[in-house]
């Protein structure tokens, strides 16, 4: 008899229910021989049925329906008894990439010409790893070991897996002394001690009773004790490695492959802890009208992982970065182990201070050649230039408004290390030295002027290349030893611009500013400047008199030009002589 409602069972048949798409261990035992199946997959002839309590017992022995239901029940009971086995995924570990490409970006907040802070590298890199992996059919977990510790996990992209990615996880716990202790807390270990007098080695069982933060406390047959407080050389031997610990940073992804295959997988991600800058070496010609320019491309890796035989690229220019990479990089944790012992001695005697170490021996006398600092540095520079000329130069490519420098050979970027690659080498580039100042000083204390080196970044002058910002060391080519005469910084310069960088101040070229008393319109000021040159050769100087937007300049006794939004006095001062200018400023009401 058929039930009048699909959800009300008839007396002779189980009610109709909803068919399940997946099997779940929902069997329960009611008494010795009565079973109830909540929801089951489709059964032959009774798809999606509910099986009421007692219904199975009422079926004839040997019937097809009874046998099918019993088989399903046995399978479900086996799943309920061993759920871990049912959920286990095979793990495929890729220990290292087969090839790596690293594109390094400068710290966006470092400023023009600023050097890298090797203790806090705030640049970043795009790391692309290629790995060959054998993937089994069905579900599996792929572990990419050896990724950068500064990896930004949310930026990772994995290509090449046949089944795509279901889920990914950043395994953050690294193998460390503290992690071993925390993972073995409450479990048995072996203590090995060595008697320093006899060399005898003894071992005994112990149970770890404390975590890594409060010292290592263990329990032995003798009671509770703190490790490394007995005065004997001792160490802990662990029988097993706690789960979830990895020797290197790991990214894990879950996948379901339709078939077993050996595939080439590409993993791309952002990583913090990288940076780069340009370092320039300039040698001025004897007459000061030309220079030789050499530059190193210095790369730095602050991660604990090395990238062997890598393709290297660097990006020059400024990117719009809304959040520092260090803030979103989820670095793995290597838990330290702190060993703490109670003070030795007694309450009455007190604790005796450890005597300080003996003073270091006096320094050895330097050889005469080494005492000539400037000469040694000059010789080193010469060696760098000669050696660098045999090194392949980084290749320049355009990347929108940015510039890309590609190292034309593979190289290893070592962990916590730096690498230098030749960026450029140009000879006999026309240059000039200009002494710069502004009219803010006084006649009582004449101000020294800054020494500025200038050159035109054009192909006709021997340059014509984008010049990334960096530090500059300038050596004098007039002396035999090539002494260092100044250091400075340079911002980014495009092709066609006038390159400028300051290398110091001159005590021989000074400017005195005097405010003259006298009649004049309200809101005006009369000034007189005296520029002196104590050098044995003439010098070219540029003095900023005022901002054009702030004041009108009138009644000047020498030629004044407008340059970069300022009134500028350009003058050549003869050797051991001086130059003078008087003028009136009428300030503009703001």
Per-residue pLDDT of the chain (590 residues; tens, 9 = 90+): 444 433 333 444 433 333 333 333 333 333 333 333 344 444 444 434 444 545 555 566 555 555 555 555 554 444 444 444 445 788 899 999 999 999 999 998 887 767 788 888 999 999 999 999 999 999 999 999 999 999 998 899 999 999 998 888 887 677 778 778 888 888 888 888 888 788 888 888 989 888 777 678 888 888 888 887 777 788 888 887 777 777 788 899 999 999 999 999 999 999 999 999 999 999 998 888 899 999 999 999 999 899 999 999 999 988 888 777 877 777 777 777 777 775 555 555 554 455 555 555 555 544 443 333 333 334 433 443 333 334 578 888 888 888 899 998 999 999 999 999 999 999 999 999 999 999 876 666 889 999 999 999 999 999 999 999 999 999 987 666 778 989 999 999 999 999 999 999 999 999 999 888 776 677 788 889 999 999 999 999 999 998 888 888 888 999 999 998 899 999 999 999 999 999 988 887 75
Specify the 3-state DSSP secondary structure of 91. strand
State residue 388 phi and psi, 5-degree precision. -65, -30
CA atoms within 13 A on the CB side of 319: 19
Rg (CA), the chain: 39
**What whole-number distance in Å separates Cα of residue 89 and Cα of residue 256?**
10
**What whole-number distance in Å separates Cα of residue 553 and Cα of residue 587?**
9
**What whole-number distance in Å separates Cα of residue 21 and Cα of residue 11?**
27
Residue 394 tokens, joined:
């980084």
Q: Which strand (E) or helix (H) includes residue 86?
A: helix 83-87
Asked whether 330 and 251 are in contact (CB, 8 A), the reply is: no
Paired with 577 in beta bridges are: 533
Neighbours of 407 (CB within 10 A): 22
155: burial class by Cβ within 10 Å (0-12, 13-18, 19+)? middle
**What whole-number distance in Å separates Cα of residue 5 and Cα of residue 23?**
27
Specify the 3-state DSSP secondary structure of 66. helix
Provide the b/e sequence for 298-323 (b: ≥16 CB within 10 Å): bbbbbbbbebeebbbbbbbbeeeeee
Which long-range contacts does 359-367 make (Cβ < 8 Å, 24+ apart)? none
Location of structure tokens 């079973």: 35
What are the E-state strand segments in 44-166? 91-94, 99-105, 123-135, 138-145, 151-159
Dihedral over alpha carbons 375, 384, 474, 397 (to 10 degrees)? 180
Specify the 3-state DSSP secondary structure of 570. strand
**What whole-number distance in Å separates Cα of residue 245 and Cα of residue 394?**
40
Q: Running DSSP on this structure, what letter comes out for residue 50?
A: -
Instruction: Tell me, yes or no, if the pTM score tops 0.75.
Output: no
């Amino acid at each position: 008899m058929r039930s009048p409602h699909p959800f009300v069972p008839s007396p002779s048949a189980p009610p109709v229910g909803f068919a399940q798409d997946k099997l779940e261990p929902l069997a329960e035992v009611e008494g010795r021989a009565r079973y109830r199946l909540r929801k089951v997959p489709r059964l032959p002839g009774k798809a999606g049925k509910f099986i009421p309590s007692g219904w199975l017992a009422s079926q004839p022995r040997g019937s097809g329906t009874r046998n099918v239901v019993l088989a399903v029940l046995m399978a479900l009971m086996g799943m309920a008894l061993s759920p871990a086995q049912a959920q286990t995924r095979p793990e495929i570990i890729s220990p290292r990439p087969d090839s790596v490409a690293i594109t390094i970006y400068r710290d966006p907040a470092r400023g023009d010409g600023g050097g890298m802070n090797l203790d806090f590298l705030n640049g970043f890199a795009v790391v692309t790893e290629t790995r060959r992996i054998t993937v089994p059919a069905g579900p599996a977990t792929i572990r990419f070991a050896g990724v950068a510790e500064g990896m930004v996990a949310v930026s990772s992209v994995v290509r090449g897996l046949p089944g795509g990615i279901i889920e990914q996880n950043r395994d953050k716990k690294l193998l460390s002394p503290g992690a071993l202790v925390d993972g073995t807390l409450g479990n048995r270990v072996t203590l090995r001690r060595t008697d320093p007098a006899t060399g005898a080695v003894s071992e005994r069982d112990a149970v770890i009773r404390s975590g890594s933060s409060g010292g290592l406390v263990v329990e032995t047959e003798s009671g509770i004790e703190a490790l490394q407080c007995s005065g004997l050389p001792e160490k802990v031997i662990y029988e097993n490695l706690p789960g979830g610990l990895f020797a290197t940073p790991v990214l894990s992804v879950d996948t379901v492959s339709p078939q077993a295959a050996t595939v080439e997988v590409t993993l791309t991600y952002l990583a913090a802890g990288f940076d780069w800058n340009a370092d320039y070496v300039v040698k001025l010609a004897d007459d000061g009208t030309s220079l030789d320019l050499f530059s190193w491309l210095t790369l730095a890796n602050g991660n604990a992982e090395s990238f062997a035989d890598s393709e290297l690229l660097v990006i020059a220019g400024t990117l719009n970065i809304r959040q520092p990479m260090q803030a979103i990089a989820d670095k793995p944790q290597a838990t330290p182990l702190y060993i703490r012992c109670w003070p030795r001695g007694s309450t009455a005697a007190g604790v005796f201070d450890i005597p300080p170490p003996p003073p270091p021996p006096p320094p050895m006398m330097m050889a005469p050649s080494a005492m000539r600092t400037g000469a040694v540095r000059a010789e080193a520079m010469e060696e760098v230039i000669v050696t660098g000329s045999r090194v392949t130069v980084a290749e320049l490519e355009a990347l929108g408004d940015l510039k890309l420098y590609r190292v034309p050979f593979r190289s290893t970027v070592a962990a916590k290390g730096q690498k230098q690659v030749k960026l450029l080498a140009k000879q006999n580039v026309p240059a000039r030295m200009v002494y710069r100042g502004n009219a803010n000083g006084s006649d009582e204390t004449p101000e020294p002027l800054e020494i500025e080196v200038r050159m035109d970044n054009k192909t006709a002058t021997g340059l014509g290349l984008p010049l990334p910002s960096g530090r500059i060391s300038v050596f004098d080519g007039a002396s035999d030893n090539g002494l260092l005469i100044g250091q400075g910084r340079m911002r980014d310069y495009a092709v066609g611009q006038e390159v400028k960088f300051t290398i110091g101040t001159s005590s021989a070229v000074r400017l005195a500013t005097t405010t003259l008393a006298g009649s004049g319109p309200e809101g005006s000021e009369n000034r007189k400047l005296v520029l002196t040159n104590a050098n044995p050769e003439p010098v070219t100087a540029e003095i900023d008199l005022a901002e054009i937007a702030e004041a009108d300049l009138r009644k000047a006794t020498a030629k004044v030009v407008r340059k970069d939004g300022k009134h500028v006095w350009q003058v050549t001062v003869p050797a051991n002589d001086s130059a003078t200018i008087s003028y009136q400023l009428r300030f503009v009401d703001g």
